[in-house]
Copies of this chain bind each other. A is one copy, B any other.
Amino acid sequence: MMTGLAALARGAIEPVGLITATPPFAGLELVDFPELIVGGHDVRPGPLDAEARRMWSESRAIPPALLDHAGDFFAEIQERLRPGTLVGSGERIASLAEAGLATRVETPREAIARIRADIEAFAATERLERVVVVNLASTEPPPERPIPLDFSEVEPLLDDAAACPLPASSLYFLAAAEAGACYVNFTPSAGGSPACLQQVAIERGIAQAGSDGKTGETLLKSVLAPLFAARNLEVMSWVGHNIFGNLDGKVLDDPRNKAAKVRSKDHLLAEILGYAPQTLVSIEYIESLGDWKTAWDHIHFRGFLGTPMTMQFTWQGCDSILAAPLVIDLVRLVERAWRAGERGGLPWLACFFKSPLGVTEQDFATQVTMLRDWVARMTADASDG
């Protein structure tokens, strides 16, 4: 995402993969690429530059020339990085964190306050009008205890990490909300999705979007399942095996973390079809694949006269490369909606997510229509004004 933003800002690449760069979005007065300033929190050691170069050395996915030109850009962002929190992140993620972080002890409330202060300092230093926080961390385990529906019941627990049901992603959400920053959850972690936090978003006057970016296999499910529904073909079983070798894959090797991901990849089929075929989703870490995620899906369906038929597909996509432009699109769109006064979850961003906030629609084509309708409304408003 950063390598691409550096290249976009200096006009070195075509904006392939960015939907906000297509004609329908031209009249929206979105924030321009050079205006986007990147900062953030991380729990892992190691310079950004080296991490980006692994996309080349391990995955042949980012041409070295683009990396060579992004050196200064990375160095500037590196200066703006602050230590993340391990409170509520789960054992697997904690095991990947840098040594210093792992020994830091803080309550959830202290973590929120610290991150909030970082965000506010970031905005002040860079003289930013608006900040959008995006959760791009590896998938957390699902919360072990139910999160109360009313935030007033959660608030007192923030002083005790052992009692507080909020995972790290939700602490970042609260920090963002308190700092008056919007929040985008690109992962299946809880983030701002719990009902009590959706309420916080509205009260604090921020916009949020999520959750779990739809980049590959699940995207195809949301495109293909409506076909079977529209033709009254009965899906008997839908098996999807995913293999990939990046850090996310390593984190998902922990069954607790994987559970959250599999759930997010699986539920939409029944929602689209109106019945529940037998489904199977696996996600496995295969080191040699690097950032390349290969999915094989086997769809067994029944047609006229009960005749069984089969569709199979393989998807060979580079995970980070697929996600990066969506993140940029989301930041631009959330910022625009917020500027226009929208608050709380933004359901018209459903086409970006596996588990869209505030809407049950899972059919990709319908979700795209929702986005296009919003663009049309915004453009009409703009020309009215």
Residue contact A321 to B296, C-beta cutoff 8 Å: no
By a CB distance below 8 angstroms, the chain B residues around A310 are: 294, 314-316
**Minimal Cβ-Cβ distance residue in B for A234:** B16
Taking a contact as CB atoms under 8 Å apart, the answer to whether B19 and A232 are in contact is yes
Does A260 touch B at the CB level, under 8 Å? no
List, in ascending order, chain B residues with CB within 8 A of A312's CB: 296, 313-314, 316
User: CA of A63 to CA of B64 in the docked complex: distance in angstroms?
Assistant: 9
Interfacial chain B residues near A306, Cβ < 8 Å: 13-14, 16, 63
A34 smallest CB distance to B (angstroms):
18
- Are B231 and A223 in touch, CB under 8 angstroms? no
Whose C-beta in chain B lies nearest to the C-beta of A296? B296
Q: State how many angstroms separate the Cβ of A173 from the closest Cβ of chain B.
A: 26
Chain B residues whose C-beta falls within 8 Å of the C-beta of A62 in the assembled complex: 305, 307
Assuming the A-B contacts A237-B288, A365-B366, are A230 and B19 also in contact, with contact meaning beta carbons closer than 8 angstroms in the complex? yes
**B contact residues around A237 at 8 Å (CB):** 243, 286-289
Q: How far is the CA of A14 from the CA of B232 in the complex (A)?
A: 11
- Chain A contributes a number of interface residues (CB within 8 A of B) equal to 73
CA distance A147 to B66 in the complex (A): 55
CB of A141 closer than 8 Å to a CB of B: no
Interface centre among A66, A302, A304, A351 (most CB of B within 10 A): A304
- Please state the number of chain copies in the assembly: 4
A143 adjacent to chain B (CB < 8 Å): no
Among B17, B294, B296, the residue within 8 A (CB) of A232 is: B17
Binds B, one of A76-84, A115-123, A277-285, A354-362: A277-285
CB distance from A140 to the nearest CB of B (A): 24
Judged by a CB distance under 8 angstroms, whether A137 is at the interface is no
- Inter-chain contacts of A316 with B (CB < 8 A): 309-312
User: Quick check: is A61 within 8 A (CB to CB) of the other chain?
Assistant: yes
In the complex, A226 has a CB within 8 A of chain B:
yes
A364 x B230 contact (CB < 8 A): yes
Contacts of A317 in B (CB 8 A): 303, 309, 311
Known contacts A227-B223, A232-B22, A306-B14; A286 and B311 CB within 8 A of each other? no
**Distance to closest chain B CB from A131 (angstroms):** 23
Is B243 a contact partner of A239 (Cβ separation < 8 A)?
yes
Which residues of A from 28 to 86 have beta carbons under 8 Å from B?
60-64, 66
Interface string of A252-284 (1 = CB under 8 A from B): 000000000000000000000000001010101
CB-defined contacts of A305 to chain B, threshold 8 Å: 3-4, 7, 13, 16, 61-63, 66, 321, 324
Measured between beta carbons, the chain B residues less than 8 angstroms from A280 are 243, 284, 286
Nearest CB in chain B to that of A1: its residue: B304
Is B231 touching A227 in the complex (CB atoms < 8 A)? Answer: no
Is A16 a contact partner of B289 (Cβ separation < 8 A)?
no
At the interface, yes or no: A206 with Cβ under 8 Å from chain B? Answer: no
B219, B239, B296, B298: the one contacting A227 at CB < 8 Å is B219
Known: A4-B305, A305-B4, A305-B321. A232 touches B298 (CB 8 A): no
In the complex, residue of chain B having the shortest beta-carbon distance to the beta carbon of A302: B16
Shortest Cβ distance from residue A38 to the other chain B in the assembled complex, whole angstroms: 16
Q: A158 in the interface, Cβ–Cβ < 8 Å?
A: no
Query: Which A191-208 residues have a C-beta within 8 angstroms of B?
Result: none
Residues of B within 8 A of A243 (CB): 237, 239, 280, 298
Q: Which residues from chain B contact A7 at a C-beta distance below 8 Å?
A: 305
Which residues of the other chain, B, contact A298 by a CB distance below 8 angstroms?
243, 294, 296
Nearest 10 interchain pairs by C-beta: A365-B365, A236-B288, A17-B304, A313-B313, A304-B325, A237-B288, A307-B321, A310-B316, A17-B303, A241-B241
